Amino acid sequence: MRRASLRTELLLRLGVPLAALVPFNVGTTYLDARSTADLVQDRTLTASARVIAERIQSIDDVIEAPIPPAALEMFVSDEPDRVVYRVLDPDGDLITGYADGPMPPTPPKGLAPMHFDGMFQGRPVRAVALAQPIVSAAGTRNGLVVVGSTLRNHDRLVSELWLKALRDQVLLVAAACVLAVYGLTRGLARLTRLRDRVLARDPERPDRLADEALPNELRPLATALDDAFVRIEGDVAIQRRFVANAAHQLRTPLTILKTQANVGLAEASPEAAREALRAVDRSVGAMNRLVNQLLSLARAERGTDALRKAPLDLVAVLRGRLDDLAPLALERGVDLAFETEATALPFVGHETLLGEIVVNLVENALRHAPEGGEVVVRLTSGDGAIELTVEDTGPGIPEAEREQVFERFHRLDRSDPSGTGLGLSVVREAIAAHDGTIALGPRADGRSGLRVMVRFPVSA
């Protein structure tokens, strides 16, 4: 597929309209040239007719109309036109001139000259008719002077004016194209320099492309590139953290798993082999949970813009996850309760991450609550926010460590092999991806235990 050239496209967008204007300009120029030639010829004819009219006189009731040389010298040129004239008395009789000369279609009104087109001996002529008062014994009446000329000089003047204007138009369009090419070359050089800056950009020390030196037209593109690079670098950082976390956390479980498998293979006793298999099963379960936590953390770290949120019922999401945790609550002998006044609570969010928030908070509460204890989950809404509260009757978290528990792989009880140290990290990232907040504190009733308060804006 042939690649399109931005320079060629811009030149076409500029050149085609300019070329389309040429026929219009040629037409208007021709009309202007013809109008100028008509004006010159009409004025010459009028001046010649007035010179002839001024010489008409009546002597002893005899009307004379001598033709002065000046009246005809006005038409002298390198290629003289044929000049015809006729002078008529008030009765319409020919005094002098050509009997077959052109006549106006209607008598002129008043003393104003009347210009018209006519024919003389089969050739087109331009003529003027001028009424001239003649004083005689019978009184003052108007005679008629008609002067015409062929169109040779008229047409030559039209051609000269039109060709000159046409030449100027062509030169103007050519100059405009040259300037357009120069301007586009200079303008696109900015785009080339931006490309060079992108190629030379150091990922370790990135500089923003959108600076004051860029023209206004390129600044939105540079800003978009900066934003894209920030998102890409964020994704790369998340991927690197995920790989680092996975490599850090999976190395030991895999070693243990391999050791347990080797032990099982080396045992001759079926009971010992089954015990090794049970140990392998526990290790695989722990690894499965760790991998799921790592994947949830990576998904949450992508942030608000990358999540595909959708309308959902938050009450239904919580009930579904709490039903999944009911067996764990029965196993540990903990009373798990869910309190809400809403039968349904519309919310826009990512269902999987919201489920991870609930599962991690409630599972932590169940694991730390003593046998016979309780875990209460409350969901309320009001004042433009949705609040999720999880309370347990466990030992709680010392105030000095409440911020540290959100760090990755931080565990309060390192003797518990079931923990991964990622649960609250996943919770914090998932809540941040929904523009929410989380806070840890003591129970509201003053009893021992932990209270986790999560707050989402309704517009999330």
pLDDT score at 145: 92
Written as six digits, the tokens of 448 are: 């021992």
Strand pairing category for 437-441 and 83-88: unpaired
Tell me what the mean pLDDT of segment 328-345 comes to.
Answer: 90
* Higher pLDDT, residue 51 or 232: 51
* Higher pLDDT, residue 207 or 439: 439
Tell me what the mean pLDDT of segment 298-316 comes to.
Answer: 70
For residue 2, name the pLDDT band (cuts at 50, 70, 90).
low
The answer to whether residue 262 scores a pLDDT higher than 90 is: no
Which stretch of 175-179, 191-195, 236-240 has the lowest confidence by average pLDDT? 236-240
Tell me what the mean pLDDT of segment 39-45 comes to.
Answer: 91
Query: Domains in the chain, please, with CATH?
Result: 6-159 (3.30.450), 219-301 (1.10.287), 310-457 (3.30.565.10)
Q: Phi first, then psi: give them for residue 183, nearest 5 degrees.
A: -65, -40
The answer to whether residue 174 scores a pLDDT higher than 90 is: no
Strand pairing category for 83-88 and 62-64: unpaired
The answer to whether residue 149 scores a pLDDT higher than 60 is: yes
For residue 415, name the pLDDT band (cuts at 50, 70, 90).
very low
**Inter-residue contact 299 to 241 (CB < 8 Å):** no
For residue 67, name the pLDDT band (cuts at 50, 70, 90).
confident
% of the chain with per-residue pLDDT over 70: 79
Residue with tokens 């243990």: 256
Tell me what the mean pLDDT of segment 71-99 comes to.
Answer: 86
pLDDT score at 356: 82
- Please state the pTM of the whole predicted model: 0.44
SS3 for 128?
strand
For residue 379, name the pLDDT band (cuts at 50, 70, 90).
very high
The answer to whether residue 1 scores a pLDDT higher than 50 is: no
Tell me what the mean pLDDT of segment 352-356 comes to.
Answer: 83
The answer to whether residue 237 scores a pLDDT higher than 90 is: no
For residue 383, name the pLDDT band (cuts at 50, 70, 90).
confident
Q: Which amino acid is present at 442?
A: P
> CA-to-CA distance for 378 and 316, rounded, in angstroms?
13
pLDDT score at 238: 61
